[in-house]
Structure 1
C-alpha cells in the first residue's frame, strides 16, 4: 500500500481553488497574475501535498468602448485630467510592475481596445479544447498589450497570438470570423461576479476574497489560511 491508497481505495489529494477575475486592459491584473504565479510556486514548496486549481474569469471594465477601440493616450488624459497626471500615475505603476518583474511599454500602446473579443477567445479555447490550460494564452494577451503594444481587439492580432499558443488553426479562424460578425461573443459570468467591484479580484476556496494586486506573500497567506495550514509558514 502506498501513500495514495488506503485499504485499496484512492485518497483524494487536498486542494485549494483560486478564482481570478480580470480584464486585459487592467495593468494591475497583469501585475496580479505575476504575483499569483509566484505565490502558487511558493505555496507548492510549502504544501506539496496540496494541489492548486486556478480558474480564470473574464470581467470587462469598459464594455462601452467601441469595437474598434479608441486612442489610448487621449483616453487616459481625459480619464485622469491632464498629461501630467497620466505621467505621475505611470511612474507609480512602473514601480509596482518592476517589483513583479515586468517592464511596461506605455509608449507602444496606441489603442484602448474593447476586450470582449480577447475574452471570447479564451472562453472558446477552454470550451473547445479538452484539457486546455488558459494561463499561457492569458499571459500572452497581457504581454502583447502592455509590453508589445499590440491591439488585442484586432482579430488579426488575436489569430496570431492564438496560433502561437497552439490553438487549432481552422477552428480559430472560424471562431474569429464569427467574432467579426458579432456572433459567439458571450462571456461566461462567474458565480462570484455580483460581488466583484474591481479587478484583479481573487476568491480562494470560495470563501476568502482579495481585491487588488496583492503581493505573493499576502496571496500565500490567504491560501494557507484557507487550508488551515498556517504552521507551514
Structure 2
C-alpha cells in the first residue's frame, strides 16, 4: 500500500489569524504550512509519517504540496528517506487544484498501481485512533471484494453539518453520497467525513473519470 498526504492548501484563515495576533506569541508561525505546525514536540505531519512507518503496511509515502511551500516540505522530508515531495506548481489559493486532482497528480507522477491511503496533511485524530484497526478493516473488506474502499466518519452535532462533508450510508454502511457542508435540514445524516480514505488500486482509474465529469459540469 502507498500513502498520499495532501498538503497543498494555503491555510489562508490560519495565516490571517497568526499575522493579526498582537501578542507576538505566534510570530514564528507566520508562513508555516498547517501540516508543519508543531503538535507537541514535532510537526503534525511527522506524527503521520511515524504512524505510517510503524504500521508496516505502507511502502511508499508521497506528500503533495504547492510551489510556495515546496522548499519547506523538502527540508522537512530530508530526515525521512522514504518520503517523497511533489509540488502541484500552484502559487495561490485561487489556483489550488483540490484534493482529488492532487491525489490524481501523485498517482500519475509516481506511477502508483497499489492500494492508496489518503490523509489530509492537517488532519489530527484523537489518541484512541488506531491505524492498525483501519488497515485490518480494509484487509477484511478486500477479502470479500478486491475493489472495496474505506471512508471514515464520526458523529457530529446538528449545527456542525455546515462545516464538513456529510456521508449518507445504507444499512450496511455503504456510502450512498457525500453532501458538502449541508444545512441540518438537508440531510438526516450526522456522519462527518475527515480527510482519511483508503482506495483500492482498482478504483484509481475513477479519479480520471470524476475529474472529467467535473469539467463537463
TM-score normalised by length of structure 1: 0.26
Larger Rg: 1
Q: Which has the higher strand share?
A: 2
TM-score normalised by length of structure 2: 0.28
Relative contact order (alpha carbons < 8 A, sep ≥ 6): 1 or 2 greater?
1
Q: Which has the higher helix share?
A: 1
